């Protein structure tokens, strides 16, 4: 069965007010088109929904943030493998939680293209976005998407009742959108991998951003032993520290015969 293209040259061209200026801006990137869905692209979209950021229309540049330069190089390699575009690593001056770095790419056509693929633009806590259908309905793409989401936003706990979970924050105005995002993960974890999760839950406590916007956490956990084992077998986590903790959960389950 032939795979349909995800984005064509004409799709990106329509995002420009002027067709003339659009063609001029896109001319040297014609080799991108038609762009087809792939596991690598699904991972990039997940990265941009989590630790990445596409700045709003006036600037249209993308950044991916991490404390690890090795992780930034991994992201840069993913971008280059599809689009043959290179970025630069620079210190992140806005992170108040410690030293981190940005992998920045100044390429407006690339940002326009990734937005059409499903990547959000602007502040993710206050912006509405969902997991694209092309990722949700394809088991391989969804697996790659989850590997990156759980690597970026995941938690692996080795407490008395071990679990793997994810946490994301949404403004109160976009809380229902956040619920849909988490419900899609919950639903398709079971559809594709028969992995069961807890119900989506939150804390009563609200967080106040610098701009005064109130945000609230959304949480989802995998707690059942058989589902944790399926998660480790079929999805797994790339982040080294979280991966080692997940291995401990698997080994613990093996020792107890579960």
Task: Tell me the average pLDDT across 155-166.
Answer: 94
Distance from C-alpha of 180 to C-alpha of 246, rounded to nearest angstrom: 27
Per-chain mean pLDDT for the chain: 94
Contact 116, 12 (CB under 8 A): yes
28 DSSP assignment? G
Q: Is the pLDDT of residue 149 over 70?
A: yes
Q: What is the pLDDT of residue 159?
A: 86
Which residues sit opposite 208 in a β-bridge? Answer: 214
Q: What is the pLDDT of residue 97?
A: 62
For the chain, what are the domain ranges? 9-117, 133-255
Find the length of the chain. Answer: 258
**Lowest mean per-residue pLDDT among 96-100, 117-121, 149-153:** 96-100
DSSP E strand stretches across 115-245: 154-157, 163-171, 207-208, 214-222
* Residue 152 CA, distance from chain mean position: 8
Other residues' Cβ atoms within 10 Å of the Cβ of residue 256: 8
Q: Is the pLDDT of residue 95 over 80?
A: no
Other residues' Cβ atoms within 10 Å of the Cβ of residue 54: 23
* CATH, domain 133-255, list 3.40.640.10, 3.10.28.10, 3.40.50.300, 3.40.30.10: 3.10.28.10
Confidence of residue 71 (pLDDT cuts 50, 70, 90): very high
**Lowest mean per-residue pLDDT among 92-96, 176-180, 231-235:** 92-96
Distance from C-alpha of 165 to C-alpha of 47, rounded to nearest angstrom: 17
Which pair of structure tokens corresponds to residue 245? 């903790």
Contact 52, 41 (CB under 8 A): no
**Cβ-count burial of 2 within 10 angstroms (0-12 exposed, 13-18 middle, 19+ buried)?**
exposed
**Percentage of the chain exceeding pLDDT 90:** 86
Q: Is the pLDDT of residue 140 over 60?
A: yes
Instruction: Return the higher-pLDDT residue of 46 and 2.
Output: 46
Q: Which residue has the tokens 């990137």?
A: 29
Q: Is the pLDDT of residue 258 over 60?
A: no
Identify which of 5, 40, 9, 4 has the alpha carbon closest to the alpha carbon of residue 109.
9
Distance from C-alpha of 8 to C-alpha of 147, rounded to nearest angstrom: 27
Q: Are strands 207-208 and 214-222 parallel, antiparallel or unpaired?
A: antiparallel
Domains 9-117 and 133-255 share a fold: yes
Which pair of structure tokens corresponds to residue 35? 């762009």
Q: Which residues contact 137 (CB under 8 A, 6 or more apart)?
A: none
Q: What is the pLDDT of residue 1?
A: 61
198 DSSP assignment? P
Task: Tell me the average pLDDT across 189-193.
Answer: 98
Other residues' Cβ atoms within 10 Å of the Cβ of residue 122: 14
Distance from C-alpha of 162 to C-alpha of 255, rounded to nearest angstrom: 15
Kindly report whether the global pTM for this prediction surpasses the value 0.75: yes
Contact 35, 117 (CB under 8 A): yes
Q: What is the pLDDT of residue 37?
A: 98
Task: Tell me the average pLDDT across 33-54.
Answer: 97
Confidence of residue 254 (pLDDT cuts 50, 70, 90): confident
Which CATH number does 9-117 carry?
3.10.28.10
Distance from C-alpha of 44 to C-alpha of 78, rounded to nearest angstrom: 7
């Amino acid at each position: 069965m032939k795979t349909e293209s995800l984005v064509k040259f004409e799709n990106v061209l329509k995002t420009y007010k002027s067709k003339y200026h659009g063609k001029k801006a896109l001319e040297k990137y014609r080799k991108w088109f038609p762009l087809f869905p792939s596991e690598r692209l699904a991972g990039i979209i997940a990265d941009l929904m989590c630790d990445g950021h596409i700045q709003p229309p006036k600037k249209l540049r993308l950044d991916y943030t991490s404390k690890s330069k090795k992780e930034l190089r991994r992201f840069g390699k993913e971008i280059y493998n599809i689009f043959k575009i290179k970025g630069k690593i620079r210190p992140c001056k806005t992170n108040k939680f410690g030293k981190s770095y940005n992998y920045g790419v100044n390429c407006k056509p690339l940002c326009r293209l990734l937005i059409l693929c499903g990547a959000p633009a602007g502040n993710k806590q206050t912006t509405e976005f969902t997991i694209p259908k092309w990722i949700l309905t394809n088991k391989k793409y969804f697996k790659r998407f989850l590997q990156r989401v759980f690597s970026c936003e995941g938690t692996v706990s080795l407490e008395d009742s071990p679990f793997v979970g994810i946490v994301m924050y949404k403004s109160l105005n976009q809380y229902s959108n956040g619920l849909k995002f988490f419900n899609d993960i919950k639903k398709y974890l079971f559809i594709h991998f028969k992995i069961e999760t807890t119900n989506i839950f939150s804390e009563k406590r609200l967080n106040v951003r610098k701009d005064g916007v109130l945000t609230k956490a959304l949480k989802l956990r995998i707690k059942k032993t058989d589902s944790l084992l399926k998660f480790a077998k079929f999805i797994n986590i790339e982040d080294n520290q979280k991966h080692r903790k997940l291995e401990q959960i698997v080994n613990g389950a093996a020792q107890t015969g579960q």
